[in-house]
Amino acid sequence: MQCELCGRDCDCKPAAIDGVKMMLCPKCMRHGQSINIPAKPFIGVKKPILDRIKKPKVKDVYKNMEKELVSNWNELIKRAREKKGLSREELGFKIGERTVTISKIENGDLRPSDKMVEKLERELEITLVEKVTDISTITTGSHSRGYTIGDFIKK
């Protein structure tokens, strides 16, 4: 090891010069005060750093998707609101949303969140979600995995 003061290769010892901890050779030790560093107790073999890092849990967001928004949701909302005789402002006030938001939803410019869908269904007494059914693909001739993009282009 090299002395941090003069650079000489030697058996350096820890010392402090003006409050700065350094590794000094015996000759440079006269400029500082010796420091006793307690030895660290042996605990055992540490795991590699990558094993100690907590990995985030991966959530499958598609796992519990049993329902989806109906295709004509914006028209259903508008018709139900008009049938109840509510203005966009009144509906927005009742469900705690801005009038602009209601307008964008009715125009189809903004898809309502799941929470908002629940509020709209409750207030307007309509159903905006439907149960998802599995869609099976029909295999054609040599294709064993179903349709490809090329199959759709050919038709």
Q: Kindly report, residue by residue over 11-70, the tens digit of the pLDDT.
A: 888 888 888 888 888 888 888 888 877 666 656 556 666 666 677 777 777 677 788 888
Output the pLDDT for position 12: 86
Q: In order of start, what are the domains of the chain with their CATH numbers?
A: 1-36 (no CATH), 67-131 (1.10.260.40)
Instruction: Name the residue with higher pLDDT: 82 or 1.
Output: 82
Mean per-residue pLDDT of the chain: 82
- pTM of the entire structure? 0.48
Say how far residue 17 (Cα) sits from the centre of its chain: 49
